[in-house]
Structure formats: structure tokens, C-alpha cells
Structure 1
Amino acid sequence: MTPPHVPEIRLHLADEAHDLWRRTEEELAEIGLPPPFWAFAWAGGQGLARYILDHPESVRGRRVFDFASGSGLVAIAAMKAGASAVEAADIDPFCDTAIRLNAAANGVDVTFTASDRVGSDEGWDVILAGDVFYEKPFAGRLLPWFSALKSRGADILIGDPGRAYLPKTGLERLAAYEVPVTRALEDAEVKRTTVWRFA
């Protein structure tokens, strides 16, 4: 199916959101695996993908790192917008298969890694991060890493639908979108999602 805010991209997504989420979260928790974030197009990722497709100059000809990639939506958008190469990373090993299938469905190639890349630097030109400021400890790890990447010249673009731990300062607003989402996973049917440049 196509995410509502990014109809140019086709993804393998869950269509019975609430039941799938509840069932798989319970079953995966029993064997110590994370919930299936990869099965949904989250608002932050949809907003960021929309921005990239509308502003291809932000990634065209550049090496891109899509952090916490999930379904691969943002990585695929970057390739469609002309990035020279995209590496997608997510600590959920199921994302490898999801991203491979989704990239193939869109006729693009995306490299995947399941390792925790926070703190690393492979010389990427652009770092994309959709919906990552949902938890305080995680946000605390990201900010110094983003600062280090920014200080050596990387562009860092963040898609965020108003998560609690998004920094209150040091961000430049690039665009805002009203993104349709499922009430089974969010607290509303539409989330105002902002794309920020980490400054």
C-alpha cells in the first residue's frame, strides 16, 4: 500500500494496525524482540520523506544515512530523490527484510545495517532521522552524536510529530505537514509533523 502522505512510495505495511500491533508486541516480547515498528509508516517518517521528495536538492548526489529506518520509507525517498547512496540502520533485525522488500518494490537499492550506529561516523553527507525523540534516554544519546556530526559538516534532518523529547532549541524549521495516521497507534487521526534541520 502507499502511505497517505507519500503516495509515490509503495510499502509492505500492516493494514490491521491495532490487532497486529497488540498481537505481535505480546508474542515478540515473550521471545525478547522489539515491537514491529517496521510495519507502519510513522508520522515523522512520512513528513521527512515528503520533504525529501519535494526538495530533492537536500540529498541529490550525496551519501545519506537513514537512522532508525523502520520500514525504509525515508531511505527509499532519498534514493528516489537522487541520493548517490543510502545506508539504512535499525537495531530491529526484521527491518533488514522489510527494507529489502520495500526497496525492491520501489526499484531502488538501499544498504542495511542492524548495528547500533549511535556515535559512529562513516562520513555521511546527510543524516535523516524520522520520529526518534520519543524516549528521554534515547534522546540523550542522540543529541551529542548529532552535534558531533553537525560540527564536522553533516546535514541532519529530523521529522517529528511533536514527540516529548524533541529539543526545544538548536533546530531550524524547514516545513510542516498534516499527516494522516492511525488512531490505533497515535493519539489523533492527523499529526502535525515538522521537518527540522539540526543546527
Structure 2
Amino acid sequence: MLDPEAFIAAHTALARPALVPEVELYLATEITPIWQATEDWLAQRDIEPPFWAFAWPGSQALARLMLDGTVAVRGHRVLDFAAGGGLAAIAAMRAGAAFAEAAEIDPLALAATRLNARHNGVAVATPDGDVVGSACRWDTVLAGDVCYEAPMTGHIMPWLRRMAAAGATVLLADPGRAYLPKQGLEAVQRFPVPVTRELEDRDVREVTVYRVLG
């Protein structure tokens, strides 16, 4: 029987993201070996890249804002959308959220989030399926690094705007991706975030955290 958490622990190492050293995650240092290992373990090819194995700059910026108290989530119901390994959800719980959900369509990402959350002593819910289109049940919605493809942006942005119109604080952290919308966003704060050449074409990404307007 496949044990996703055991697989993740065996093919990653505990490390602390550059901008969020308070949180320790199971992370990969190279994308090709973890990608190949995942394909071999699942006995299938052409799977999605293992984005869950890296602390993406947008998630780091969102986590930093919550842990510093710049974005207050104490007592809030928080959604970490496209959560990867769950860094922002974990930070939300560390910052006093009432509960946090991590939304991902990759089952391995959900397993990584559960493993990372448990390692950091917090509980994060990991519902199955695509939450896009769901009615708003959150006070704060976090989305990091989500505008990297036109279909993805077109799928999620109308829904994120509806969440904002329903009263949620919707924060989108973007490090300069090509498909970031030009309108309907209000800049909150900027961070230089060290990144890996395994994923980026530079050593530092300038991340802007935006409030999505309803």
C-alpha cells in the first residue's frame, strides 16, 4: 500500500525557508530527482511537477506577513489556496487562526501539508478536490504564486474576486508572474525573497502581496 507521507519524508529533507525560519518543512533541493522519484513511485509518467516540495516565494511572503502581525488572522477562518506544502496555512495557525484549510488538487501536496503541519505542531485541514467555485466560508483567503499560466489565472481570479466581494480578505502574493491581472489589485507590501535556481532564473524574487478587490 502506498504511503505518501513516508515517500515524502524519504525523498526530502527538513529545512527552513529563507524568509520564514520559524517554520521547518520537508523540502527538496532539486526538482528533477524528486520528480523522477514521484513518477517511479506512482508508476506513471507525465505527472504534474512536485511543486509541493518547495517553499515558493509567494507563500513565504504571506507567511511572513501573518507571523509579523502585519496581516492579522487571529481567530480567523483561513484558506491557503494552491497551498503546495502548506506553509501559509501553518503560519496562519502559528499566528492564532481559528482554523486553516489547505486547498490543493494534488494528493501528494495534501499529504505534504499534513506531514509539515504535524511536524510544526499545528492542525491544518486538507479537503479533497478543487475548491474553486465554493461559497465563501473563510475570513481570510491566501493565494501565493498562482498567476503563472493563463488558464489557471482565468479559472481562479473571478472566484477570488467573489470571495472578496463576500467579505473575505483575499491576499494574492506574486513574484512577477506573467499572467498577474493588471487591475483589481491593491498592493499591501513587497519583499525580496531568496529563491533557488532550480525553479527560478535568478537568486532573488521581488514579491508583492496584493489585496484582491471585490
Instruction: Please tell me the TM-score bracket, short chain as reference.
Output: over 0.9
* Structure 1, unpaired ranges of 5+: none
Q: Which residues of structure 2 form unaligned runs of 5+? A: 1-14
Q: 1:88 aligns with which of 65, 86, 102?
A: 102
- 2:178 match: 164
**Which residue does 1:150 correspond to in 2?**
164
- 1:48 paired to 2:59: no
Could you report, residue by residue, the CA deviation over 1:72-98 in whole angstroms, capped at 9, with x for unpaired residues?
Answer: 000001000111000111000001221
- CA distance in 1 between counterparts of 2:21 and 2:110 reads 23
Q: Residue 98 in 1 paired to residue 112 in 2?
A: yes
Alignment-derived partner of residue 28 in structure 2? 14
Aligned to 2:129: 115
**2:48 is matched with which residue: 34, 38, 41?**
34
Instruction: Find the counterpart in structure 2 of residue 137 from structure 1.
Output: 151
Contact preservation (8 Å) 1:29, 1:35: no
2:36 is equivalent to residue 23 of structure 1: yes
Residue identity matched to 2:174: D
Whole-Å separation in 2 of the counterparts to 1:171 and 1:21: 35
Distance 1:26 1:108, change over 3 A: closer
8 Å contact from structure 1 (residues 51, 195) kept in 2: no
Label 1:118 to 1:91 Cα distance change in 2 as closer, same or farther (>3 A).
same
Q: How many aligned positions are there?
A: 198
TM-aligned CA deviation for residue 122 of structure 1: 4.4
CA RMSD of aligned residues (A): 1.8
Report Cα offsets for 1:169-191 as digits up to 9, x if no partner: 11111111110110111011110
Change over 3 Å in CA distance of 1:175–1:98 after alignment to 2: same
Aligned-pair identity (%): 52
Q: Is the 8 A contact 1:158 1:198 kept in 2?
A: yes
Q: 8 Å contact 1:70–1:95 — kept in the other structure? A: yes
Structure 1 position 78 matched with structure 2 position 92:
yes
TM-score (norm 2): 0.87
Question: Does the 8 Å CA contact 1:24/1:35 hold for their aligned counterparts?
Answer: no
Deviation, structure 1 residue 22: 5.4
1:187 and 2:201 correspond: yes
Match of 2:77 among 63, 80, 86: 63
Deviations 1:8-41 (A, max 9, x none): 10000012x1432553576579445321110000
- CA gap of 1:123–1:137, structure 2 versus 1, over 3 A, is same
Determine which structure has greater relative contact order: mean sequence separation of CA pairs < 8 Å that are 6+ residues apart, divided by chain length: 1
Question: Would you say the 8 A contact 1:56–1:82 is kept in 2?
Answer: no
Alpha-carbon contact 2:58-2:144 (below 8 Å) kept = yes
Output the CA distance in 1 between the equivalents of 2:47 and 2:73.
33
Aligned-partner Cα distance in 1 for 2:26–2:112? 7
